[in-house]
Amino acid sequence: MSLLNREVFWPPADELTEVAERIRARLGGWPAAETRWRICLTVPEAPKADDLIVFSEPHDGAVEGAGAVLEAHGDRVTLRRGEERFALEGDRSDDWLSALAAFLDCNFEPHDALTLALAWRSGDENRDDAWPVDFATFPRVADLPPAPEGGFLACPNALGLYPVLPSAEWVERVLDLGVRTTQLRRKSADPADLQREIARSVEAGRRHDAQLFINDHWREAIAAGAYGVHLGQEDVQTADLSAIAKAGVRLGLSTHGYYEMLRALHFRPSYLALGAVFPTTTKVMPTKPQGLARLGRYVQLLSGRVPLVAIGGIDAKVMPDVLATGVGSAAVVRAVTEAPDTAAAVSSLQQMFASQR
């Protein structure tokens, strides 16, 4: 096991390491950690880039040379890594630091490993499935603005095949083939073009009684009376979520791991997108690919709580494995737009969803 024969805690803490090894042994096989983090219980004389330094009292700012700083006091834990700050609130078990070491060793980014460590409960390693899957034990993301009153309108729990398309012409073509959920991702800075493409797409959605989402351009989506909008994590800070909710426009939010899922759920969106599952070239991703094992765990935690959409690098070859996780929808791009025969590609993908029912 990869925790053995290396420095996990500093100063050396045999009891913490022993518990961490026991927890890690019950978490299953995961890719080797890209960064071998060392959890420092005091500040080393010469901090290193792979040191995560823990303070039990408030500490303002970074420690020169260290990779990350963790401030834990009361029911609040704050992680600082460079300019990024992640604040969580909730109960902590006695084993949370050992669990943190174990989840870091599973190659989770520190903020996601911390989220899982705070969800861990002492003795969980004795269960048949030791992975944290009880939503009630997970922490809350702190310091978020209030969610829109009443939340967002619901959408179907299983959105099915979800093509993300570059133009209204593509939206019309795909809806004509029987698809009932799609997204217009129009990459244009021309306001007239955006207004025209969005209005045309929304009209196509109405004709087909389809779930048509507009990527990013929430103001134009409201003006056109769109079924929904899809926003990224960064857009939550700038978009007027209350205006979107009051307009009766549904909201889908992108997430890239446990912390972002909890952050997104605070706003009570209509669905969560989970990704990128596989490498993708259609847009620059802020995180490495999640993979099927993580997707399966996300679905296990959130299924029945909010509709879920797998996204990122999904094509016909991997679609059966994606659907086997239990996710109710999968977004595709090139599997439709670059297919030699669009109708045949859509029909084949639709059949894969039908076989899962």
Short-list 234, 237, 218, CA closest to 287: 234
| Mean pLDDT on 4-11 | 90
Q: What is the pLDDT of residues 284-327, one digit of tens each?
A: 666 789 999 999 999 999 999 999 999 999 999 999 999 999 99
Q: Rounded to an integer, what distance in angstroms lies between the CA atom of residue 142 and that of residue 264?
A: 12
Domain positions in the chain are 9-141, 160-355
| Residue 302 annotated as lining a ligand binding site | no
- List the structure tokens of 157: 């729990």
Question: Are the beta carbons of 183 and 271 closer than 8 angstroms?
Answer: no
| Mean pLDDT on 266-272 | 98
Whether the per-residue pLDDT at 281 is higher than 80: the answer is no
| Residue 313 annotated as lining a ligand binding site | yes
| Residue 281 annotated as lining a ligand binding site | yes
Q: What is the pLDDT of residues 107-144, one digit of tens each?
A: 999 999 999 999 999 999 999 999 999 999 999 999 99
Tell me the residue type at 121.
R
Neighbours of 143 (CB within 10 A): 11
Neighbours of 169 (CB within 10 A): 13
| Residue 187 annotated as lining a ligand binding site | yes
Question: Are the beta carbons of 254 and 290 closer than 8 angstroms?
Answer: no
Q: Is 316 exposed, middle or buried (0-12, 13-18, 19+ CB in 10 A)?
A: middle
- Residue 2: partners with Cβ closer than 8 Å, 6 or more residues away: 24, 32, 33, 105
Q: How is domain 160-355 classified at the CATH fold level? A: TIM Barrel (3.20.20)
- Residue 143: partners with Cβ closer than 8 Å, 6 or more residues away: 87
| Residue 317 annotated as lining a ligand binding site | no
pLDDT at position 286: 64
| Residue 24 annotated as lining a ligand binding site | no
H or E stretch including 164?
Answer: strand 160-165
